[in-house]
Amino acid sequence: MNRTKTYVSAAAAVVALAVGIPTMAQAHDGGSASHPGRSGHPARSAPAQRAAAAVVPASVVAPGQRVPAGYGLQVWLTADGKYVQVPGQDVEFTPKVDGGQTSGINLQAYPTSHGWFVSGVFLGHGRAGRVEVTTASGTVLAGRVLQLAGDPGWGAFFVTPGAALPVGSGTPHPRVGVAKIVVFDTAGHVITDATYPGAF
């Protein structure tokens, strides 16, 4: 049976307090008992009215290797989890495992002057090939996947801020506008995914 779990990470909580929104990191177990967090089925094609997102190749990075994410943002991994540096702010850390999480996606969002910077950690075995982030309006964005060498059982991703995910103003509880995230392996099979019915 598929399960949807909700977690609040320390990094996400700090950001939520800063911008006044209830930030949730959700995990969706879409696998079987023998392969948790992995469906094993080929990816279904997106509806015809949605333009296909350009594929951004995944990257194997060394621990501590800082990856530019646009507009001065940086992301890096260690054996313990993901780090995000937003210019002018403290470094935010997200552990690779959040509480009792065994599969799924832990999502964070950081407001910038260029739009929301969406980043997260996913659990699931296999070499990740790409990630797709679907907005509430149906736009499919190609994020970048980062993993350590070997098969660590987890990885991270991010989407550079842009017009597709604008930071709202004048509202007490602005939404980021993410409706779905899917992480694929190099063969096009789903490693894990998460759906946000009300748009994260």
Mean pLDDT of the chain: 76
Residue 133 lies in a domain: yes
The 10s digit of each residue's pLDDT in 102-144 is 779 999 999 999 999 999 999 988 899 999 999 999 999 999 9
Residue 159 lies in a domain: yes
Residue 115 lies in a domain: yes
Domains contained in the chain, number: 1
Residues 6 or more apart whose CB falls under 8 angstroms from that of 56 comprise: 130, 142, 143, 144, 145
Residue 81 lies in a domain: no
Residue with tokens 């320390």: 10
The pLDDT score that the predictor gives to residue 171 is 66
The pLDDT score that the predictor gives to residue 162 is 93
Domain CATH for 153: 2.60.40
Segments forming the whole domain that contains residue 133? 25-30+50-60+103-195
Could you give the CA distance from residue 160 to residue 153 in angstroms, rounded to a whole number? Answer: 24
Ranges of residues in the chain whose predicted pLDDT is under 50: 1-51
The pLDDT score that the predictor gives to residue 155 is 96
Predicted TM-score of the model (pTM): 0.74
Residue 7 lies in a domain: no
The pLDDT score that the predictor gives to residue 53 is 58
Cα–Cα distances in Å, from 84 out to 73, 92, 180? 7, 5, 21
The pLDDT score that the predictor gives to residue 36 is 39
